[in-house]
Structure 1
């Protein structure tokens, strides 16, 4: 199972922990000492918030991201799609642009260093 691999990050978005089979898989994965789980819950009154806090108390590697009660009351379920979440809730990861440019550059170098196919004249 991939959740057992060291330094795994599990992002839970849109799952309310209602399916016992899936929830057991997630709970088993928390045995992995280097797994970090972030659960996005748009409702601060959801029982999911308390469940994740209990997980966090066990190993301090489970986190819940939700609005404050006041923010939720002001804009109930305002951010509902993954695009909304990515634009408004995720931190700005400036280093990602630099990383992607570096990866493209590495691929360019690798492709230019490949030997040319011999011309067989066929």
Structure 2
């Protein structure tokens, strides 16, 4: 039941992100980009089926961790994606801020109409 709920949440985040990216404002574009990043992180975490268990510490002299331990790879991938997504959004905010300072608007359609 939990996987179905997470699948619905991932779908809703993707839908909201795409909807926001199709709006005319650059700020809404940034919000949509952020929502898509969150949806991708949740999708990755859900697809990995996180398990509850002890940490994967390999005992001395053993070749592999004991059975039933938690897999740290999905958590590491999601954490890395969060950090990269934060950097991308911060850079995009700086670009939008500079464009707004230079051009005086955040609407891309108005920018094209003033160039003519």
Q: Give TM class, smaller chain.
A: under 0.3
Which structure ranks higher in relative contact order (CA pairs < 8 Å, sequence separation ≥ 6)? 2
Instruction: Report the TM-score, using the length of structure 2 for normalisation.
Output: 0.28
Q: Which structure has the highest strand share of the two?
A: 1
